[in-house]
Chain A
Amino acid sequence: MTPWRRLKPAALALIVPLLLLAFWQAATSRHWTLLIPTPYEVGRYMVDFAVGGIYDDAYSATLLTHLLASMGRVYGGFALAAAIALPLGLLIGRLPAARMLLDPFLQLMRPIPVTAWLPLSMILFGLGARSAFALVCLGAFYPILLNTVFGVRSVDPKLFEAASMLGCRGNAQFYKVVLPAAVPSIFTGLRLGLGLAWFVIVVGEMTGVPQGLGAVIMDARTLSRTDLVICGMIVIGVAGFLSDRIVVMFGNRLLRWSPSHHG
């Protein structure tokens, strides 16, 4: 009973991916499509991509290089986005003047997709890593900003009254009440932001960088190497998933007090 209870979530979570894999296998082996390789071919290529020794082409045993290059951009861009969006969000959430000054402008810029920024970014930051960095940063920026503003603005007004009758007034309330009360929202924003940073990495690496998972996918597309495209997709998926699990684990510790944060 007990082992099953522990295995049940993992077992249930595997059902849909396995069904998809079976469908993929059926579709390719029955030749419903000729352009997509079979799961076996992709698996074989993944091994070669990771450690080499099978095909020994330009991409053999380069997975780690590309993964590290992408991770550098994802976490770097994310960190930069957080460094700008957090203080800005606190400011907009707390000061009506900052809100009136910045909110309309930021809301106007928000619907513009990261893809649309690609040409301008290449002009402003040049072809290469700086451009990729800027685009990832842009992708992670809005969820962090919006959730921080939301967190700061939705503090229960009763808590300000409670703090002031206990002798905590003025600016001290910002550190003692606003910040801790906003932490769950800020955390949600950071989690979404990091997810989006992985999400936009392919667009970010369309800027002519030589290394990175996005660059691999774009190159593989021009070379019609669909097996490599799928390998790149899988690596991004797994890396993004693991990175999210780490954030969630960290969040569960940090937000032990919050009944709604046990994911």
Chain B
Amino acid sequence: MLEIKGVSKVFALQDQTIHALADTSLVIGKGEFICLIGASGCGKSTLLRIMAGFEQPSSGEALMWGKPITDPDPSRGMVFQDYALFPWLSVRENIGFGPAARGLSTAEVKATVDKFVDLVGLGNFATAYPHQLSGGMKQRVAIARVLANDAELVLMDEPFGALDAMTRERLQDELLEVWQRTKLTVVFVTHSIEEAIFLAGRVVVMTPGPGRIESDNAVELARPRDVASPEFNAIRRVLGAKLHSHHGKKIAA
């Protein structure tokens, strides 16, 4: 459904040019759960923002169902690390923002909102404002507002990075449950190897300078996955080595 073909991205920053992404290709099928993982500066967020349509590739193509991605679109929903909820709207209104913006009738918006408020378990907080919510609840609202807008591809930029460990684990479980139930496609950026292996069907390891894909690894562990199992740790070791491989090369050079 999504195809990244030889995409590179160069940012001009004053007199400097920064090669954020070099000759990157990736194919994502419907219903996949993919994690992009790598150190900061490896271009994983840039790649995600190109998929969202917030950035245009400097060269190469980003295609969705064969058509170039030129603008942000409700079919590709983004979940930001810092939530980016509308602070002046209640939980309900935040979730209803997209459906209302797309011109759905009031009754349809209400029905959609009801459904997704329940889905993320925020019934008791439906009329609260974002500043009254915990980080985990805010991120649930952010996920619900993307799902309520019929996104078929959900792009998540380190969505659980700012949450405490307990909340993070709970949201990971909830996200997997929603993904399995709704047959969504998810691209999830993280810098935690464990999170990537726990969630993803494929872990794409990226390395910096310039950002590129180091390897594309299928994770075939049965779900639900046990982070303490020997199989899990074996994969963790392999991916860890790949993630840090560029350190060795630099020293050798």
Contact = CB atoms under 8 A, between A and B. Distances in A.
Interface of A: 156, 158-159, 161-169, 172, 176-177, 180-181, 183, 256-259
Contact of A166 (B80, B90, B97, B130): B97
Contacts of B80: 158, 161-162
A81 B100 CA distance: 34
B76 A180 contact: no
A257 B73 contact: no
Contacts of A159: 84, 86
* Secondary structure call for the A interface: helix
A167 B101 contact: yes
A257 B101 contact: no
B67 interface: no
B46 to A, nearest CB: 14
Nearest to A173: B101
B157 to A, nearest CB: 10
B11 interface: no
Contacts of A166: 74, 77, 97-98, 101, 145-146, 149
B87 A167 contact: no
Contacts of A161: 52, 54, 72, 78, 80, 84
Contact of A257 (B78, B84, B87): B87
Interface residues of B, number: 29
B84 A162 contact: yes
Contacts of A257: 87-90, 129-131
Given A172-B101, A177-B86, A165 B131 contact: no
Contacts, number: 74
Nearest to B130: A257
Contacts of B72: 161, 164-165, 169
B74 A167 contact: yes
B71 interface: yes
A259 B146 CA distance: 25
29 contacts: A156-B84, A158-B80, A158-B82, A158-B84, A159-B84, A161-B78, A162-B84, A162-B85, A163-B101, A164-B72, A165-B72, A165-B74, A166-B97, A166-B101, A166-B145, A167-B149, A168-B98, A169-B71, A176-B101, A181-B87, A181-B88, A183-B88, A256-B129, A257-B88, A257-B89, A257-B90, A257-B130, A258-B131, A259-B131
Nearest to B82: A158
B223 interface: no
B247 interface: no
Contacts of A158: 80, 82, 84
Which of A169, A181, A257 has the most C-beta atoms of chain B within 10 angstroms of its own C-beta?
A257
A220 B43 CA distance: 73
Q: What 10 A-B pairs are tightest by C-beta distance, nearest first?
A: A166-B98, A168-B101, A158-B84, A165-B72, A257-B129, A167-B74, A259-B131, A164-B72, A162-B84, A180-B88
A258 B84 contact: no
Contacts of B88: 180-181, 183, 257-258
B50 to A, nearest CB: 13
